[in-house]
Amino acid sequence: MIDSELRDLYQELILDHGKHPRNHHPLKNANATADGNNPLCGDRCTVYANLHGGTIADISFEGKGCAISQASASLMTEAVKGKTTFQARHLSDLLIKMVKGQPVAGDMDELGKLVALDGVKEFPMRVKCATLPWHTLLAALDGQSDANDNNREVESI
């Protein structure tokens, strides 16, 4: 359980990342790029990654939308930069499970700052806002340019 003080702290972190998103720019040397959108809320997200030898050497995003989608994208770029694509996929899986309210068991520690998004599960309409950047990242890692070209977005409604 999250006590109210911690909850306020998480809310501030989300507001801060939503207002001042980190790594919010195109990436000139990107070799994996994907677009995603969440029609339910109007959120758009483009993820740029520079993959090098199985590692995400650099990552950025561009996007418009609600504070949750922007904050989630911003936190994502910070969380996966320098990680292997394997670790990034694992983290995506955990994050998506967490915001959908599915058990992530003993893996909460691995989520680090991303735990701030845990409260999203209480707002079903916001779940797709939070997962959009992550689905878009997974599409980029899969070599797909459009995150909405598959069933990823559909299954998370």
Whole-angstrom CA distances from 34 to 15, 84, 90, 106 are 25, 18, 19, 31
Q: Which stretch binds Zn ion (CB under 5 A): 1-9, 73-81, 88-96, 123-131?
A: 123-131
Quick check: 129 binds Zn ion (CB under 5 A)?
Answer: yes
Q: How far is the CB of 66 from Zn ion (least distance, A)?
A: 3
The answer to whether residues 125 and 90 touch, using CB atoms and an 8 Å cutoff, is: no
Which one, 129 or 138, has the nearer CB to Zn ion? 129
| DSSP code for 6 | H
Element (H, E) at 108: helix 108-111
Q: Which of residues 8-67 bind Zn ion (CB under 5 A)?
A: 41, 43, 65-66
Quick note: the x/- pattern for Zn ion over 64-93, rule CB under 5 A, is -xx--x------------------------
Which one, 39 or 143, has the nearer CB to Zn ion? 39
Q: Which of 111, 115, 154 is nearest to 132 (CA)?
A: 154
Which one, 56 or 129, has the nearer CB to Zn ion? 129
Query: What is the rounded (10 degree) CA torsion for 62, 64, 68, 74?
Result: 20
Residues that bind Zn ion (CB under 5 A): 41, 43, 65-66, 69, 129
